Amino acid sequence: MKKIIFSAALITAIIIGCKTKTNPDDSKKLNLAFESKSNSSVSGTATFTEKKGQVTFVAKLSGLSPGIHAIHIHEKSDCSAADGTSAGGHWNPTFKKHGKWGVAEHHKGDIGNFTADQKGNGTITLTTNEWCIGCEDTTKDILGKGLIVHQGTDDFTSQPAGNAGARVACSAIIK
């Protein structure tokens, strides 16, 4: 009987100990690298950081043509196709029309446009509570999706994807 009580107490202590070892600020972070696609020389990184119900996304890219480029989250974490089409279409778990983030109806994957400078370098940052990293809400969870950078500008109106041109970089959003 004493062994059973001791074992139960030990198991309880281990469980409590494991719970206290979780990150105290409950943050999660993903660091990703882009692969060039469509015979481009685009490279870069993306970071997703979730903290207190907000996800902050930062992408830093180089090798782009100067000007405006679109970036979107796509359905699949598959960057195997040379032109990036293996990532599927825009991630749209709530079945909305394509549009501009925060202005009109939009896909959860419609991040938007950013500008590359004369040297081909560009950065974009977005913070939202419409995404999560590995949560149980399939309408918010970005894990298992793809991140695509496009050659051109998202016009925010053409359906279903904004007419942004070729896919010049891809990254799988995975742990």
Domain boundaries, the chain: 28-173
pLDDT at 122 over 50: yes
Q: What is the mean pLDDT of residues 87-93?
A: 94
How many other C-beta atoms can be found within 10 angstroms of the C-beta atom of residue 125?
11
Stretch 112-123: mean pLDDT: 97
Average pLDDT, the chain: 87
C-beta separation of 64 from 58 below 8 A = no
Q: What is the pLDDT of residues 3-20, one digit of tens each?
A: 444 334 333 333 333 333
Confidence of residue 160 (pLDDT cuts 50, 70, 90): confident
Residue 125 has pLDDT above 90, yes or no: yes
Whether 72 shows a pLDDT value over 90: the answer reads yes
Specify the pTM. Answer: 0.83
Predicted local confidence at residue 25, as pLDDT: 61
List of E strands, 41-111? 43-51, 54-62, 67-74
Q: Is the pLDDT of residue 172 over 70?
A: yes
Q: Is 34:44 a contact under the CB 8 Å cutoff?
A: yes
Residue 111 CA: distances (Å) to CA of 1, 14, 82, 106, 153:
60, 42, 23, 9, 12
pLDDT digits (tens, 9 = 90+) for 129-140: 999 999 999 999
What percent of the chain shows pLDDT beyond 90?
71
CATH fit for domain 28-173, picks 3.30.479.10, 2.60.40.200, 3.30.1300.30, 1.20.1280.50: 2.60.40.200
List, in order, residues 6 or more apart from 20 with CB less than 8 Å away: none
The mean pLDDT value for 48-58 works out to 96
71, pLDDT greater than 80: yes
